[in-house]
């Protein structure tokens, strides 16, 4: 190995260690930490963030990257890709002062605790001053970068490298009328029954069933675990320590099952990253949209499919005989795919889910532009919910306070959820061409071939390829809505007899 490449990897490895230590503290804050620890935790995160930032933006790193660009000009090699991604990360990091990183860590740690309290009390006023500070910090962050076509481009690029706000808006503008047309057609059809999903289900039994499912998927428990948190998420400390969290809702008990599938999709992506990329900028997923394509694929294209439940429903019925008495597998399949406007994004059906995301994108762009004031968000949220889905949340907890992302300063993130849906369908069409008996395999509870395909085509590459390039490489086209529209139309036309 080149001596300079070795030196760069050593430094970036230490940065990776510090960032993963931050992730451990963040995971603990969500899972174990008492509320009183938030201020100290914020300071700890700020210290680690400051050290990592200073180390990653040193002149030494900059000089090594500049020298290595000439030594490894071929971006298709692992070395060339590492230099390209490291250079991009370095350019971005050097624009952001270490003091800002520390301030942001402290502010978001306090904002997270305020969000938990505000949501539990359904009182936006508790969260408002913290969110106002978060938005100010986001706007300050944007100011560190050269003017873009739109200020939101800077935020979007953190999660979806290379994509522009205008591109996302164009994709969404083409998709929205097609989804609205489908939803209207469904509303005119006879609604499916799902009352048996809303009965009382034993929390531990649901939790255990979900763990049994994701074990069959291929989630490696020797390198992962599942814990409770206010909001389900996945986090990575290394390729050999990739964890998920989940929650249980009395009013929607089986959501725990689908959340387990969803988060395991993220985790299996991380577990499949090339071990050689560990402690380098190439480790992990290439973008949030590609990451979301994995979680939504396992949750929906697999977990809400009829072949899947033809295998798992007998076991579920045996686990919950009273709740599912007299329910057939086809009735259950239709019920878990019921299309209905709902308040909570993470529990939304596939036909309406993207509208939740489009709403959030509109609000984030409005906040970044200064068009929407934080104090007005609950009212604006409710108006947009009525416009997009024809319903108005009864309280802040089911409305503007439902998502954790803004408390962590994660703006620019939400659109990747919908983009991930599109990518999942594009990949699914290619997978079904390559694995012609996939439905039969799923019907038998066999997922090895599917996971192996994803490992070889997506997971192993880590961040080596930019998202659009990876999707093009695997499917033959860049991110596009056509496959997803075909998927939704075929699936729900059959369920609702359209």
Are the C-beta atoms of 83 and 65 separated by less than 8 Å? yes
Query: What is the b/e burial string over 172-190, where b = at least 16 CB atoms within 10 angstroms of the residue's CB?
Result: beebeeebeebbebbeeee
- Nearest Cα neighbor of 280 from 85, 90, 470, 469 is 85
**Exposure of 366 in the CB half-sphere (CA atoms within 13 A):** 16
Number of C-beta neighbours around residue 306 at 10 A = 19
Report how far residue 145's alpha carbon sits from residue 392's, in angstroms, rounded to the nearest whole number. Answer: 38
Burial status of residue 237 (CB atoms within 10 A of its CB: 0-12, 13-18, 19 or more): middle
Spatial distance between the Cα atoms of 424 and 265, rounded to a whole number of angstroms: 11
Catalytic residue among 113, 167, 263, 350: 263
- 263 part of the active site: yes
Distance CA 456, CA 155 (A): 30
Residue with tokens 């139309």: 489
The answer to whether 131 touches 411, Cβ cutoff 8 Å, is no
Cα-based angle 216, 420, 81 (whole degrees, multiple of 5): 95
CB atoms near residue 352 (< 10 Å): 20
In angstroms, rounded to a whole number, what is the distance separating the alpha carbons of residues 163 and 181? Answer: 27
**Could you tell me the CA-to-CA distances from 466 to 88, 160, 287, 305 in Å, in that order?**
12, 9, 8, 30
**Beta 234-238 vs 241-246: how paired, if at all?**
antiparallel
Local structure of residue 425 (DSSP, 8 states): H
Backbone angles phi, psi at 252, to 5 degrees: -150, 65
CA distance linking residue 158 with residue 143, whole number of Å = 14
Those residues with Cβ within 8 angstroms of residue 279's Cβ, 6 or more apart along the chain or in another chain: 9, 12, 13, 16, 17
Q: Encode burial over 55-72: b for 16+ CB neighbours within 10 A, e otherwise.
A: bbbeeebeebbeebeeeb
Whole-number Å distance between alpha carbons of 92 and 161 = 12
Structure tokens at 442: 């799923």
Question: Active-site positions?
Answer: 263
């Amino acid at each position: 190995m080149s001596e300079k490449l070795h030196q760069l990897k050593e430094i970036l490895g230490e940065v990776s260690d510090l960032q993963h230590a931050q992730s451990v503290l963040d995971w603990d804050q969500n899972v174990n930490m008492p509320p009183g620890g938030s201020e100290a935790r914020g300071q700890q995160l700020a210290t680690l963030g400051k050290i990592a930032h200073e180390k990653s933006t040193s002149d030494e790193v900059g000089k090594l990257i500049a020298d290595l660009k000439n030594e490894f000009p071929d971006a298709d090699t692992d070395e060339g890709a590492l230099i390209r991604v490291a250079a991009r990360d370095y350019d971005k990091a050097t624009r952001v002062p270490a003091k800002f990183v520390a301030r942001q860590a402290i502010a978001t740690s306090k904002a997270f605790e305020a969000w938990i309290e505000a949501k539990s009390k359904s009182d936006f006023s508790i969260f408002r001053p913290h969110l106002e500070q978060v938005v100010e910090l986001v706007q300050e962050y944007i100011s560190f970068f050269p003017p873009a076509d739109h200020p939101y481009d800077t935020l979007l690029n953190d999660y979806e490298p290379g994509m522009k706000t205008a591109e996302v808006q164009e994709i969404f503008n083409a998709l929205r009328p097609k989804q609205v047309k489908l939803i209207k057609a469904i509303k005119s059809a006879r609604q499916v029954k799902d009352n048996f999903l809303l009965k009382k289900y034993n929390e531990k039994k649901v939790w255990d069933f979900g763990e049994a499912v994701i074990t069959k998927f291929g989630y490696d428990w020797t390198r992962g675990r599942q814990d409770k948190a206010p909001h389900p998420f996945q986090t990575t400390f290394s390729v050999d320590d990739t964890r998920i969290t989940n929650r249980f809702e009395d009013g929607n008990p089986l959501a725990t099952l689908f959340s387990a599938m969803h988060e395991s999709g993220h985790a299996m992506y991380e577990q499949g990253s090339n071990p050689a990329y560990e402690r380098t900028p190439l480790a992990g997923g290439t973008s949030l949209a590609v990451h979301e394509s994995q979680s939504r694929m396992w949750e929906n294209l697999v977990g809400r499919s009829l072949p899947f439940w033809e295998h798992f429903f007998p076991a579920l019925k045996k686990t919950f005989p009273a709740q599912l008495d007299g329910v057939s597998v086809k009735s259950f399949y239709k019920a878990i795919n019921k299309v209905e406007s709902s308040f909570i994004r993470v529990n939304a059906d596939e036909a309406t889910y993207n509208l939740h995301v489009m709403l959030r994108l509109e609000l984030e762009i409005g906040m970044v532009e200064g068009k929407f004031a934080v104090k007005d968000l609950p009212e604006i949220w409710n108006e947009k919910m009525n416009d997009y889905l024809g319903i108005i949340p009864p309280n802040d907890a089911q409305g503007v306070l439902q998502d954790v992302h803004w408390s962590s300063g994660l703006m620019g993130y939400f659109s990747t959820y919908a983009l991930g849906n599109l990518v999942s369908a594009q990949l699914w069409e290619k997978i079904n061409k390559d694995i012609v008996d996939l439905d039969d395999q799923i019907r038998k509870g066999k997922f090895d071939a599917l996971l192996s395909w994803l490992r070889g085509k997506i997971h192993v590459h880590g961040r080596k390829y930019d998202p659009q390039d990876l999707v093009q490489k695997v499917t033959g086209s860049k991110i596009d809505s056509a496959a997803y529209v075909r998927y939704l139309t075929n699936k729900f036309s059959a369920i609702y007899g359209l």
